[in-house]
Each structure stands twice: as structure tokens, then as C-alpha cells.
């Protein structure tokens, strides 16, 4: 159908543009993310009039609302930046959530694919960062691994592993044996993955920048105060423009020189990959199960 081709093409063009800017600058401009949302609602409103079918705009608003909720959860959990969240909302507004069909609507398939592909994408990006900074990464990985808290936690992990192995052996031949083995593997993988992520953050994702190079939404690593007045810090969900202006003012007065920020992984390209996979392959979860 013509309207679907238009929506898919607009979404693809928006995701390609957003992916390029996200990789280059680690941010998605507001004109692009908000433009996707406005275009999505506008196009579906236009189609509702052309085809005399109000479900176009209902589906568009439903998709926008669904992805708004998910985007807020991921944003406040610190997993996505503001640009990533708004791009996701734009996809929801453009493609819409078809509430009338049974099975998996396209938008739900895209969401599942985005989570699966995003996890793989994030891991691959982290491995590349670790390889490019392997000396510092390995040094930090060893430092974290041998810290007092981790050594103490290893004792608990070892005790848990012994318990799981005993339960696995005692239930051999039953369905519970696989459960205990899987639980042990999950705990071990999670433990070392946490150390891996922490080492990546410390050595590959934290950098010093001048205040005039900050952009709205940057994650500040260390709290900054001036004469007891709080300026910004890690508790903020991304730095705001008024905070940047204050830092630039202090920088010009030579009160501060640089600010530690955490550089996130550009996640928008994973949305693009997930969208293409959803179009040509469908829901990956259905292939897995």
C-alpha cells in the first residue's frame, strides 16, 4: 500500500540520518527527533482524512504513547539518552501500533528486535572499545577483580556455585538439573559481565572536555560545586543548557578547566538494524522459539 511505503521510507531516512549524527557527534539533534514525531502524527492524520479511516491517527498516537512509556523507563534507568528516546517515540508515531490485529503488531516485533539486537550491538561495541584500549582495559579489569569488595563477593559466588553443583548432581535426570545449571551460568556471566562493563566505563567511556564543548544531555561523572553552590553532577539525568551556561561562565573566569563526562554508546544504529530486520525477517523471538 502507498501509505505504508511512505511511512517506511520516511522512517528509514530518519533512522539513517539519526544514526550518522549519533555516531559522529554522540547526539541526535532535536529538529530530527522532534521532526520524526511531528511527521509521524501529521502523516497519519493526513492518511486518516484521505482514506476516511480514523484508525490511522489512533494507531499513531497509541504507538507514540507506548514508546513514550518505554523511552521514559530506559531514560531514567540510564540506558538511553534523550535523543535515543525521542527517536524511538518518532518511530512509534510513524509506524503506529495497530491495536486491531491479533498476533504481533509490527511495532511490537520491532521493539523485541530492538532489545535483542541492542544487547548484541552494545556488547560488540564494548568489545571493540576494550580491544582498542586493551592495555588500560586489562589493567582496570584486574584492579576491579582484585578489589576488596569483589574478592568478598567471590566468596559468596563460590558458595553459591558449590550449592548449585550439589543440587545439579542430586537432581540429575530431572528437569530441575538443567534449571540449577542454567542459574549457575547466569549468575557467573552476570558477575563477570558487571566487572567487564565497569572496566569499559572507566577506561573507554569517561573523558575530560572543556565546558564550551558540552552538549545538553551529557552525563557528568563527578559533582561540580562553586563556593558551595551545586552546579551539576552524576545525579542529574543529563546536563541541562542552563548548567552548561554556568560552567562556561566559570570556565571563562578560569574557575574550572575541564569536566569529566561519560560518553555513551551510540544506540540509534541498533534501532536502524532492528527496523530493517523487522521489515524483512520479522520477529526474531519467533525464530528463536
Tens digit of each residue's pLDDT, the chain (289 residues): 788 999 999 999 999 999 999 888 878 888 998 999 999 999 999 999 999 888 999 999 999 999 999 888 877 766 666 777 889 999 999 999 887 776 678 888 898 898 889 888 888 888 888 888 888 888 888 998 888 888 888 888 889 889 888 888 888 777 677 788 888 888 888 888 888 888 888 888 788 888 888 877 778 888 888 887 888 888 777 788 888 888 888 888 888 888 888 877 888 999 999 999 999 988 787 776 5
pLDDT of residue 277: 93
pLDDT of residue 247: 87
pLDDT of residue 289: 56
Rounded Cα–Cα distance for residues 272 and 90 (Å):
13
- Whether residue 247 is found in the same domain as residue 273: no
What is the pTM assigned to this prediction?
0.77
Quick check: is 137 in a domain?
yes
- Whether residue 75 is found in the same domain as residue 111: yes
Quick check: is 182 in a domain?
yes
Quick check: is 123 in a domain?
no
Structural domain harbouring 174: 131-204
Mark residue 102 as left, alpha or beta (left: phi above 0; alpha: psi -120 to 50; beta: remaining): beta
- Whether residue 112 is found in the same domain as residue 13: yes
Quick check: is 122 in a domain?
no
Rounded Cα–Cα distance for residues 289 and 277 (Å):
17
Counting other chains too, the contacts that 40-45 makes at CB distance below 8 Å and 24 or more residues apart are: 40/7, 40/10, 40/64, 40/90, 40/91, 40/92, 40/93, 40/94, 40/95, 40/96, 41/93, 43/3, 43/6, 43/7, 43/10, 43/94, 44/7, 44/93, 44/94, 44/96
Quick check: is 126 in a domain?
no
- Whether residue 189 is found in the same domain as residue 226: no
Quick check: is 246 in a domain?
yes
- Whether residue 77 is found in the same domain as residue 179: no
- Whether residue 162 is found in the same domain as residue 199: yes
- Whether residue 111 is found in the same domain as residue 42: yes
Domain count, the chain: 3
CB burial string 12-43: b at 16+ within 10 A, e below: eebbebbbebbeeebbbeeebbebbbebbbeb
- Whether residue 11 is found in the same domain as residue 73: yes
Rounded Cα–Cα distance for residues 259 and 68 (Å):
31
Residues contacting residue 107 through CB under 8 Å, at least 6 positions apart: 63, 66, 67, 91, 92, 95, 96, 97, 98
- Whether residue 155 is found in the same domain as residue 175: yes
- Whether residue 51 is found in the same domain as residue 88: yes
- Whether residue 190 is found in the same domain as residue 229: no
Instruction: Identify the bridge partners of residue 206 per DSSP, sorted by sequence position.
Output: 262
Quick check: is 163 in a domain?
yes
Comparing CA positions, the residue from 149, 160, 158, 235 lying closest to residue 195 is 149
Q: Which of 188, 204, 220 is the last residue of a domain?
A: 204
pLDDT of residue 241: 82
pLDDT of residue 181: 83
pLDDT of residue 182: 82
pLDDT of residue 79: 64
Q: What is the pLDDT of residues 165-190, one digit of tens each?
A: 888 888 877 767 778 888 888 888 88
Q: Which of 158, 174, 204 is the last residue of a domain?
A: 204
- Whether residue 85 is found in the same domain as residue 15: yes
Q: Which three cell numbers stand for residue 163?
A: 550449592
Quick check: is 88 in a domain?
yes
Amino acid at each position: 500500500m502507498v501509505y505504508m511505503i511512505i511511512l517506511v521510507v520516511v522512517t528509514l531516512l530518519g533512522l539513517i540520518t539519526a544514526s550518522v549524527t549519533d555516531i559522529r557527534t554522540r547526539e541526535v539533534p532535536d529538529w530530527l527527533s522532534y521532526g520524526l514525531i511531528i511527521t509521524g502524527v501529521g502523516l497519519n492524520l493526513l492518511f486518516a482524512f484521505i482514506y476516511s479511516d480514523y484508525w490511522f491517527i489512533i494507531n499513531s498516537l497509541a504507538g507514540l504513547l507506548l514508546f513514550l512509556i518505554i523511552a521514559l523507563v530506559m531514560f531514567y534507568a540510564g540506558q538511553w539518552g534523550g535523543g535515543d528516546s525521542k527517536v524511538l517515540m518518532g518511530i512509534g508515531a510513524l509506524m503506529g501500533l495497530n491495536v486491531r490485529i491479533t498476533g504481533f503488531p509490527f511495532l511490537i516485533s520491532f521493539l523485541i528486535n530492538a532489545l535483542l539486537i541492542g544487547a548484541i550491538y552494545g556488547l560488540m561495541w564494548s568489545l571493540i572499545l576494550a580491544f582498542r584500549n586493551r592495555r588500560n582495559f586489562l589493567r582496570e579489569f584486574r584492579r576491579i577483580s582484585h578489589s576488596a569488595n569483589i574478592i568478598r563477593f567471590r566468596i559468596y559466588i563460590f558458595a553459591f556455585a558449590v550449592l548449585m553443583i550439589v543440587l545439579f548432581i542430586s537432581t540429575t535426570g530431572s528437569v530441575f538439573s538443567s534449571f540449577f545449571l542454567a542459574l549457575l551460568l547466569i549468575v557467573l556471566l552476570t558477575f563477570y559481565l558487571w566487572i567487564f562493563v565497569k572496566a569499559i566505563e572507566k577506561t573507554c567511556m569517561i573523558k575530560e572536555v572543556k565546558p564550551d564543548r558540552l552538549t545538553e544531555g551529557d552525563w557528568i561523572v563527578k559533582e561540580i560545586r562553586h563556593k558551595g553552590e551545586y552546579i551539576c553532577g552524576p545525579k542529574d539525568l543529563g546536563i541541562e543548557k542552563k548548567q552548561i551556561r554556568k560552567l562556561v561562565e566559570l570556565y571563562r573566569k578560569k574557575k574550572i578547566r575541564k569536566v569529566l563526562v561519560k560518553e555513551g554508546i551510540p544506540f540509534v544504529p541498533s534501532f536502524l538494524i532492528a527496523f530493517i530486520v523487522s521489515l524483512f525477517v520479522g520477529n526474531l523471538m519467533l525464530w528463536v522459539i
